[in-house]
Amino acid sequence: MDVNGVGWITAIIIGGIAGWGAEQFMKSSMGLLMNIILGIVGAVILNAILAAFNLGFTGWVAYLIIGFIGACILIAIGRMLKR
Residue 42 near residue 22, CB atoms below 8 Å = yes
Provide the residue-wise pLDDT of the chain in tens; the chain has 83 residues.
455 667 778 888 888 898 899 999 988 888 888 888 888 888 888 888 888 888 877 788 888 888 899 999 988 988 898 87
Cα–Cα–Cα angle for 32, 38, 40, nearest 5°? 105
pTM value surpassing 0.85? no
Distances (CA, A) of 73 to 7, 33, 46: 24, 18, 9
